[in-house]
Amino acid sequence: MKTNILILLEISITTIIGLYILNSFKNNQYNKGFVQKNYTKELENLNKLKSISLTIPLTEKSRPNDFSEIIGQEQPIKALKAAICGSNPQNVIIYGPPGVGKTAAARLVLEYAKTKIYSPFKKDAKFIEIDATTVRFDERGIADPLIGSVHDPIYQGAGALGVSGIPQPKPGAVTKAHGGILFIDEIGELHPTEMNKLLKVLEDRRVFLDSAYYNSEDTNLPEYIKEIFENGLPADFRLIGATTKSPEEICPALRSRCVEIFFKGLCPEEIEIVASNCANKIPIKIEEKALKLISKYAENGREAVNLVQLSAGIAINEERDGIKVNHVEWIIENGQYTQRPEKKVLEKPEIGCVNGLAVYGANMGIVMEIEATAIKNNTGEGEVKVTGIIEKEEITTSNKKLIKSSTAKCSVENVITVLSNIFHINIKNYNIHVNFPSGIPVDGPSAGVSIATAIYSAIKGIPVNNKVAMTGEVSLNGKVKPIGGITAKIAAAKKAGADIVIIPKENWQENFKFIRGIEIIPVDNLQKIIKIALLSDKECRNYEQDNKVILSAIALKDSNIPQEV
């Protein structure tokens, strides 16, 4: 009897389990059918969407397809090729103003490298692009498109592996770029923690991912996941970072691992060529006058291309056979474009006025006017006033903020000492006022020679040649010391109409000999600068006649200008 009951119980349990399994199987089949039906519908929708396409956007059509189409950047492109296209490519940071061809050049350089037999980049090497402004630091490490992340089993959608408690590594851009190039636009915006992670990857040439759920003893663990957690994901790529920031604003640890290349701002003539090439690519005719107008308003290549494209849109809508100047005028007016400032050297020689040179932002050179007056103070208690500068400068390094006295103000103080040391001028006999009128951020040290020349000219009453521009730091004993951004400064001086640019001897490069249209004079002491920059006796007399002013100091000039050159 007892045995019968047991058998009956066993049959019942088996039947219940059987029914349960059957039911689950049916449910599963039903779900599968439902999912399949939905999937088919979605796939159909997707294919329908894929079958629709517009014409290629003009921005894409006008994108440079060859280095020769990137205008005005021959030197930095040569440097970029040297860094990337050799047998041992290097990491690179490209500095430059926005829209001047940095991304365009980076996109082309990998393909160029592949044409070299000695290049380690294989034919299928990838160019992976990521914008640092879109890479947010995620402290949970769930989503990191740059470095990669781990999908832990606690998260929804962890799939079959997640159900088994297995963490799943998701490769980031550093792994996708393995064997190729990782291009990070706006690299200066990268979060410091992301930057540190990137530096580690560059060092290891692989990326290690972590998870609290990783258990090397787990028998369910697939071999490839074990391999990733134990030995890391491959991430052997070369980095090209682009930034509109200046080198000082970029993490020093990254800079020390990279070759630094500087793209320059485009001049109006180069903007005209970019606009003309863009019109050819559309293709649409464009009037010469329209090109000239674009070159006056577009600050960079991207703006030139945008202006051509909008003007082309209007011309096409009006069924005209090309872009006319009035199309560009209409865009300029309605787009509220402002004319690009054309900084020129001073119009005529003036006492106490000097064309200094500065760099700002990502290596953009500019002529910076510096003016000084010196009024005799018979009490022997003269004062020095400096205006047009920021009194205090705040420097933000990666983890601290420093506030220091303006370097321009310090430079003026140094110059006062130099003038009394070298020329034995008693500054206390004058009320000196130095002004930086252009509102340009003054890089104090490199303005040293310009400040010294302006004050000397003001005290002696001798005009400064307005066709001379200068840059250089001056030491307390009057030696001229090297400065940064020399090429950009020379370009700015030439663009502004200077005939002569005075630079520190230590900044001299042999290729400066080949720059046409401007004479570059290297000097090592302040006396030489004064001799070159101030008007000669004859020039002073002409100046006196032209300006109908009495230059009281002319008579003194010969004895005051240093003879030793």
Question: Which residues are catalytic, by number?
Answer: 446, 489
Given CA atoms 242, 245, 247, 252 in this order, what sign does their dihedral have? negative
Instruction: Verify binding: residue 340, ligand ATP, rule CB under 6 A.
Output: no
Contact 123, 175 (CB under 8 A): no
Q: Tell me how far, at minimum, the Cβ of 272 lies from ligand ATP, in Å.
A: 11
Number of residues this chain uses to bind ligand ATP (CB under 6 A): 24
Q: Considering the complex, state which of residue 100 and residue 374 has its C-beta at the smaller distance from ligand ATP.
A: 100
Query: Which one of residues 70, 83, 354, 534 is an interface residue with ligand ATP (CB under 6 A)?
Result: 70
Q: Tell me how far, at minimum, the Cβ of 254 lies from ligand ATP, in Å.
A: 17
Instruction: Verify binding: residue 265, ligand ATP, rule CB under 6 A.
Output: no
Instruction: Report the 10 Å Cβ neighbour count for 216.
Output: 8
Q: Tell me how far, at minimum, the Cβ of 64 lies from ligand ATP, in Å.
A: 5
Instruction: Verify binding: residue 363, ligand ATP, rule CB under 6 A.
Output: no
Say which DSSP state 133 is in: G
Rg of the chain on CA atoms, in Å: 34
Phi, psi (degrees; rounded to nearest 5) at 467: -95, 5
Query: Which one of residues 145, 301, 472, 497 is an interface residue with ligand ATP (CB under 6 A)?
Result: 301
As a whole number of angstroms, the distance between CA 85 and CA 69 comes to 19
x/- binding map, residues 34-63, to ligand ATP, per CB under 6 A?
----------------------------xx
Q: Tell me how far, at minimum, the Cβ of 138 lies from ligand ATP, in Å.
A: 24
Q: Considering the complex, state which of residue 291 and residue 526 has its C-beta at the smaller distance from ligand ATP.
A: 291
Instruction: Verify binding: residue 497, ligand ATP, rule CB under 6 A.
Output: no
Mapping DSSP onto H, E and C, the string for 68-88 reads: HHCCCCHHHHHHHHHHHCCCC
Phi, psi (degrees; rounded to nearest 5) at 125: -60, 140
Give the CB-nearest residue to ligand ATP.
301
Cis bond upstream, residue 283 (ω within 30): yes
Query: What SS3 class is residue 27?
Result: helix
Q: What angle do CA 27, 32, 34 make, to 5 degrees?
A: 95
Q: Which residues pair with 503 in a beta bridge?
A: 522
Q: Considering the complex, state which of residue 277 and residue 466 has its C-beta at the smaller distance from ligand ATP.
A: 277
Q: Tell me how far, at minimum, the Cβ of 97 lies from ligand ATP, in Å.
A: 7
Query: Which one of residues 92, 274, 291, 418 is an interface residue with ligand ATP (CB under 6 A)?
Result: 274
Q: Considering the complex, state which of residue 64 and residue 478 has its C-beta at the smaller distance from ligand ATP.
A: 64
As a whole number of angstroms, the distance between CA 560 and CA 555 comes to 10
x/- binding map, residues 304-333, to ligand ATP, per CB under 6 A?
-x----------------------------
Q: Considering the complex, state which of residue 64 and residue 497 has its C-beta at the smaller distance from ligand ATP.
A: 64
Per-residue exposure over 14-46, b if at least 16 CB sit within 10 Å of its own CB, e if not: eeeeeeeeeeeeeeeeeeeeeeeeeeeeeeeee
Phi, psi (degrees; rounded to nearest 5) at 149: -145, 175
Q: Considering the complex, state which of residue 279 and residue 468 has its C-beta at the smaller distance from ligand ATP.
A: 279
Instruction: Verify binding: residue 71, ligand ATP, rule CB under 6 A.
Output: yes
Long-range interactions of 545-552: CB distance < 8 A, separation 24+: 546/348, 547/348, 551/351, 551/461, 551/462, 551/463, 552/461
Instruction: Verify binding: residue 520, ligand ATP, rule CB under 6 A.
Output: no
As a whole number of angstroms, the distance between CA 299 and CA 496 comes to 16
Q: Tell me how far, at minimum, the Cβ of 367 lies from ligand ATP, in Å.
A: 22
Q: Considering the complex, state which of residue 99 and residue 162 has its C-beta at the smaller distance from ligand ATP.
A: 99
Instruction: Verify binding: residue 64, ligand ATP, rule CB under 6 A.
Output: yes
Q: Tell me how far, at minimum, the Cβ of 331 lies from ligand ATP, in Å.
A: 17
Of residues 101 through 120, those in contact with ligand ATP by CB under 6 A are: 101-104
Contact 415, 450 (CB under 8 A): no
Choose among 523, 411, 537, 511: nearest CA to 470.
Answer: 523
Q: Considering the complex, state which of residue 66 and residue 347 has its C-beta at the smaller distance from ligand ATP.
A: 66
Choose among 89, 134, 81: nearest CA to 108.
Answer: 81
Instruction: Verify binding: residue 245, ligand ATP, rule CB under 6 A.
Output: no
Instruction: Verify binding: residue 272, ligand ATP, rule CB under 6 A.
Output: no
Query: Which one of residues 242, 284, 386, 530 is an interface residue with ligand ATP (CB under 6 A)?
Result: 242
Instruction: Verify binding: residue 185, ligand ATP, rule CB under 6 A.
Output: yes
Q: Which residues pair with 463 in a beta bridge?
A: 351
As a whole number of angstroms, the distance between CA 427 and CA 238 comes to 56
Q: Considering the complex, state which of residue 150 and residue 274 has its C-beta at the smaller distance from ligand ATP.
A: 274
Residues lying near ligand ATP in the complex (CB under 6 A) are found at: 62-64, 69-73, 96, 98-104, 185, 242, 244, 266, 274, 301-302, 305
